[in-house]
Amino acid sequence: MTLEDHAGDIVSKARDRANLSAWAAAQAAGLSEDALAAFEEDGHWPAHGNLTALARVVQLDATKLAAIANGWSPVPPPPDQWQGLARLSSARRGFAVNAFLAWDAATRDAILFDTGFDADAVTREIESRQLTLRALAITHSHADHVAALGALHRQFPAARVFAAQGVHAEARPLPPGEVLAIGALRVTARLTPGHAEDGVTYVLTGWPGAAPAVAVVGDALFAGSVGRAEDDWPRALGAVREQILSLPDETLLCPGHGPLTTVGQERAHNPFF
C-alpha cells in the first residue's frame, strides 16, 4: 500500500503549519512557483531544486523528507503477529479509508474502530468470522470515519458506541483511564485532538502470545506524515508526540488512511518529528 501522503503533500501541510507562502518556499528551494506547485501535487522532486533548504523553511526533518521523496515506506508487520485484527478498507469516489476490527479469538467478542463507507462489507466480515460485536469506537467524527455508523448500529443494536457526544444518539466517550474489556483485550483511550477537535487514539493490549500493543490513531498520524490541522498545528503535533510516539517502539499503529506502521518507524522516519 502506498503512503497516504507523498513528499509534496507533506511539504504542503508543513507550509500551511509554518504559514509560509508558496513564493517564499519556492525561493528557498530554488524553484519557480509552478515547479513547487507541481511537486506538491505529484510528489516528484525536480533534480535542480534544494530539498534540504525547503525542509528547513517549512520546519521538517530534511533527511526524513528526502527518504520519503526517494520512496521510503514502512516495513509491513508480520501478518500473523496479532491474532484477531483485521483492516477493512472501503472507498467512495476514489477516496479510501481504513476501519479496524479487533476480537478475542476465544470468546469471539469484537470491537470495530471507525466504520468506513460500507456497512454491508463490515457486517459480512463480522458474520463470516462468527464474532459478536460488543462495541463501536470512533477515532473522530469526520464523515468518512462514521459514514456507516447508523447502519451498523441498526444491524448490531447491542453494541455500545464510544464517540464524542452528538456523533450518535447513544454515543459516549471512553474517558482516558477507563479500561474497556473485549474478551481478553483491553482498550484505553488517549485524547489526540488537532486534526479533529474530538480526536481519540485507542490502545489495545492483551493480545495472544504477548504481541505488542496496537494503537488505532485515526487521522492524527499517517505513515510518514500527519493529518492536516487547519486550526491548531501545535496542539495536533503535541498530541501525536505525547500520546502516540510516547508508546513503545514496537507498538503497531493503525491509521485512518494508508499503510500500517509502528511507533519506532515513525520516530525514525516521520519528517514532522
> Per residue in 170-209, pLDDT tens?
999 999 999 999 999 999 999 999 999 999 999 999 999 9
pTM of the model: 0.96
Give the model confidence (pLDDT) of 83-113 as tens digits: 999 999 999 988 899 999 999 999 999 999 9
Mean pLDDT estimate for the chain:
97
Provide the b/e sequence for 183-206 (b: ≥16 CB within 10 Å): bebebbbbbbbbbbebbbbbbbbb
Nearest CA among 73, 78, 58 for reference residue 14: 58
What structural domains does the chain harbor? 7-69 (1.10.260.40), 85-269 (3.60.15.10)
pLDDT bin (cut points 50, 70, 90) of residue 154 is very high
Whole-angstrom distance, CA of residue 36 vs CA of residue 236: 25
